[in-house]
Amino acid sequence: MIMIPGGSQTILLVEDNDDHAELIIRSLQSLKFAQRIVRVSDGQEALDYVRREGEYRDPVRNPFPTVIFLDLRLPKVDGLEVLRLIKSDPGLHHIPIVILTSSDEEEDILRSYDNHANSYVVKPIDFRLFNTMMQDLGSYWLGYNTNPVLS
């Protein structure tokens, strides 16, 4: 787990590719409002975080995420299974989940929305477009969108 300290809003970034994670974190850190970014690199760790299990038991150190940016192809537990498990849990299903993936496969898109993804975004190859897209996503989910308060 990598934690980037920030404000009261928490982004849970579930990304196994270190280069993609670094790009995403840099883009999100450039936003004007403060946020905390927690990066985990596999699906099991993401589930442990939102369920407050194992090393994530402390709710002060590990607040519920304001939004989850979730890759699909993950070690241990696949991203679609992480999505399904979170969205089927009455205590967690309100957390917005944005699928952030390289896959533009129609089956992945349909399965994500069938499992109640809040958004599906394909990572662009172009660095500038990727950076702009992440800033737009961060601005929307942390600045404009209103979520219920979870504890």
76: tokens are 């241990």
User: Residue 37 in contact with residue 3, Cβ under 8 Å?
Assistant: yes
In a domain, 121, yes or no: yes
Q: Which domain holds residue 41?
A: 2-144
User: What's residue 103's pLDDT?
Assistant: 93
List, run by run, the mean pLDDT of 10-residue segments along the chain (151 residues). 59 94 87 79 97 93 92 96 97 95 95 97 91 89 77 56
In a domain, 151, yes or no: no
In a domain, 150, yes or no: no
User: What's residue 34's pLDDT?
Assistant: 55
Number of independent structural domains in the chain: 1
User: Residue 14 in contact with residue 49, Cβ under 8 Å?
Assistant: no
In a domain, 10, yes or no: yes
Closest by Cα among 94, 96, 79 to 142 = 96
Return the CATH number at 35.
3.40.50.2300
Task: Say if residue 58 is exposed, middle or buried (CB neighbours under 10 Å; 0-12, 13-18, 19+).
Answer: exposed
pTM: 0.90
User: What's residue 68's pLDDT?
Assistant: 96
User: Residue 62 in contact with residue 38, Cβ under 8 Å?
Assistant: yes
